[in-house]
Structure 1
Amino acid sequence: MEKKPLAWVVDSTAFITDELKNHPDVYVIPLNIHFGDQQYQDGIDLTPEELYQKIETAEEFPKTSQPAAGEFAKVFESISERYDAAIAVHLTAKLSGTLASSMAGAEMTDFPVHFVDSNSLSVGITRLVERGMELAETGKSPEEIAETLKTYTSNFRNYILIGELDQLYKGGRMSGVQFFLGSMLKIKPIVQITPEGELQAIDKVRSEKKAMQYLVDRISESYQNDGISKVYLMHGGSQDKADELQASLKEQVPSLEVVTGDISSTLGVHAGRGTVAALWFVEKD
């Protein structure tokens, strides 16, 4: 059987669109979510809505973990029979050991895998894969595609309104002082994945209404300054908030294409129900 030229491997923190879900060359490796001794695979046996329901009743706060290197090795061994090479795109290495685990898994095989640290998560991974597929159609080699995607990560823009401060704190993504002040003052923090892939608070707003308008204003500014044509509004079990944000955005920027979707269960552990994020790429030369 003649091998296909290229497979794509992503982790489950990516926004898995219907196109990616049904694409024959895309392989999604799930992260793990732990409630005490019980382990679930993200997107396979624990949906985002089930996660939020379990958090409300669970005695212990859930933890997340990356797939073991051996899990990646199994996938790479399997696809080596059908492909010449693979490109693996993973969530930022600054927030997870998933990329390192994937690289370790590849070292257990003889299969050529080219790695891309997305320096992001969710749509940041998704758009890199879509862009990579576009490049593959032009005849570029896997090495050339991977190198181009590493540069493309700098085009990522994101603003995230955290739904549950206590989950961000319990998950180790927020200092005790930040949590105390935010809780006491009812501040809505706006956080961001930096171009280096780190999570940082960039602003704080006094009400959710103002925070939602903050997101609309940032998107509108990028539309005016960068000519963006598409934005993703991702949410944590809050379709109503995403719809509200979309309606406000359409009033301000009617021609902008807007896509809404859920963040993965793994991301939901840290961000919580009620999170809303605006994510997009600036298409620079």
Structure 2
Amino acid sequence: MQKIKLFTDSTSDLSKQLLNEHRIDVVPLSVVFADKAFKDGQEINTEKMYNIIDENGKLPKTSAPSPQDFIDAFKPYIDDGYEIIYIGLSSDLSVTCQNASLASQSLDGKVHVVDSKNLSTGIGLLVLKAADFINEGFSSEEVAQKVRNLVEKVETEFVINTLEYLHKGGRCSGVQNFVGNMLKIRPVVKVVDGGMILAQKTRGKRKKALKTLLKNALKNKKEITEDRIFVTHSMDSEGAEYLKAELEKEVKGQVIITDAGCVISSHCGPKTVGILYIKK
């Protein structure tokens, strides 16, 4: 039987429990404050990152693993007879998959890179499906292709609680930030074709925004696969628990709550929460 090792990056936002359960290794991205870099999920967590942002008033930059980082992670397994499947952050948002592909060129074709065209647990859904396919006995080539066939079926949508981080990151103007906060505008963002688009603008109380997110997901409830649905949040366990409870009333799939890592949180800010699933 072929030996296959599954890798992802820290932006898959899978919990340590899920990573360990499915024997998945991580090549992390980093968040960089001034000249100090921290590996996401290993050297820094989201709460610590927010504390640093509050202290200095500036967002960190994010940094992809280098080709050498991937070689260092992959080669010990390849030397032990494994083939590698790597599923990473959308190539429209990061050079992570590009760097993994560069690394694969020096590893005798033993690495299969899958561009998720997604982020957060939109990647995680694909990674766990890959683990399922490996357990079912498919070859590395078959697993990689089956996952690629699922990429366009992943639905990722989340609501942002404040425009402050988008403003600090240069994604909205000071005027937009001021007006948005005055009117309590909470954008609903969707991943489409590997990038993020503004799908809706909700206005008013936060609960209204969460209900909009829930309503959007339940429009497709007949199309939601019955294995896993993720509710992923950045420091908003209350909102995540509300969405989980409401989803469980309507769908048969397993609803799993996960914490968003530093990379996605640095762009969207605290109390961002999303619903992510794969369509049939």
Q: CA deviation at 1:273?
A: 0.6
Unmatched 5+ residue regions in structure 2? none
Residues 82-137 of structure 1, C-alpha deviations (whole Å, 9 max, x = no match): 23311110011111111111111222333511111111122222221221222223
Unmatched 5+ residue regions in structure 1? none
Quick check: 1:36–1:60 contact (8 Å CA) kept in 2?
no
Change (3 A) 1:142 1:228: closer
CA distance in 2, matches of 1:23, 1:266: 23
CA distance in 2, matches of 1:214, 1:104: 41
CA distance in 2, matches of 1:163, 1:32: 24
Q: CA deviation at 1:25?
A: 4.3
Question: Aligned to 2:11, what secondary structure does the other structure show?
Answer: coil
Question: Aligned to 1:83, what secondary structure does the other structure show?
Answer: coil
CA distance in 2, matches of 1:25, 1:245: 28
The 4+ residue runs of structure 1 with deviation greater than 4 A are 177-181
The answer for the alignment partner of 1:170 in structure 2 is: 168
Change (3 A) 1:51 1:146: same
Supply the RMSD in Å over aligned alpha carbons: 2.3
Question: Aligned to 1:108, what secondary structure does the other structure show?
Answer: coil
Aligned-partner residue type, residue 258 of structure 1: V
CA distance in 1, matches of 2:125, 2:99: 22
**TM-score, structure 1 as length reference:** 0.88
CA distance in 2, matches of 1:40, 1:140: 36
1:49-198 aligned within 5 A: 49-110=47-108, 112-172=110-170, 174-176=171-173, 179=177, 182-183=180-181, 185-194=183-192, 196-198=193-195
1:276 matched to 2:273? The reply is yes
Aligned-partner residue type, residue 180 of structure 2: G
Give percent identity, aligned residues only.
29
Quick check: 1:236–1:262 contact (8 Å CA) kept in 2?
yes
Question: Aligned to 1:258, what secondary structure does the other structure show?
Answer: strand
Aligned-partner residue type, residue 60 of structure 1: K
**TM-score, structure 2 as length reference:** 0.90
Q: CA deviation at 1:214?
A: 0.6
Aligned-partner residue type, residue 201 of structure 2: K
1:265 matched to 2:262? The reply is yes
